[in-house]
Amino acid sequence: MKIRKLAMNLSNLEQHSSKKVELEQYSIDGDLAAKWLSDLISFGDLKKGCRISDLGAGNGILGIGALLLGAGEVVFIESDSDACKIINKNISLLGFQNHSKVYNSHIDHSNIPTLDTDIIITNPPWGRQKEKADKPFLQSILDNCKTAHILHNNKATHISNFFLKEGWNVEKYGEADFSLPATYDHHNRQRDKTRAGFWRVSPN
């Protein structure tokens, strides 16, 4: 599937309308998701039949994009039960029920998931509302010893430090604008944007 067509398909997915500020629920738009997934293909990590875990899945846009590109199975893990309903709805509309598993589960230090998949993808909370909110997501990658792709604040330095000290391979391979619509009460503009970065981490 061409990236432009993928972006259009992903843009048509139903968005989740939750406004739980502590979860930092900022949705990835279709264009950004398609671009990022194309990077995964370039690395050879997203390939036909592969199994993927999507941590903090939101409305499922990343995992569903991977399925559209040929992934064999995606495990969606999302702490917001309302968002899980949207994931299931989007999956059903595209006929991916037999290739998906959706878990309503909160990832924290006392609940690190065991992931029997080939790779992990995640856009974790960036820690703007709760310091180190992303730490359990990074720990999940480390504990499961899986190659992972992470979308985070472009200025983040702790990701490389976290994995390098464990002897992992780390590559920051790109950046892009990340749209920030006025989702929460503390936002004073209708729409803003920030700069996101992309990391690939893998066990040595």
User: Over the stretch 83-118, which tens digit does the pLDDT of each residue have?
Assistant: 999 999 999 999 999 999 999 999 999 999 999 999
Q: Which residues make beta-bridge pairs with 38?
A: none
Number of CB atoms found within 10 A of residue 136's CB: 21
In a domain, 161, yes or no: yes
pLDDT of 170-187, one tens digit each? 999 999 998 875 554 444
In a domain, 177, yes or no: yes
In the prediction, which pLDDT does 186 show?
46
In a domain, 16, yes or no: no
Cβ pair 122, 148 in contact under 8 A: yes
SS3 36: helix
In a domain, 17, yes or no: no
In the prediction, which pLDDT does 187 show?
45
pLDDT of 23-45, one tens digit each? 555 779 999 999 999 999 999 99
In the prediction, which pLDDT does 179 show?
81
What is this structure's pTM? 0.91
Domain extent for 37 = 3-8+22-202
Domain count, the chain: 1
In a domain, 66, yes or no: yes
The number of angstroms, rounded, from the C-alpha of 139 to the middle of its chain's C-alpha atoms is 15
In a domain, 53, yes or no: yes
CATH number at residue 113: 3.40.50.150
Q: Higher-confidence residue: 181 or 50?
A: 50
Exposure b/e, 89-101, CB count within 10 A at least 16 = b: ebbeebebeebbe
State the DSSP H helix or E strand holding residue 163, giving kind and residue range, or none if neither.
helix 158-164
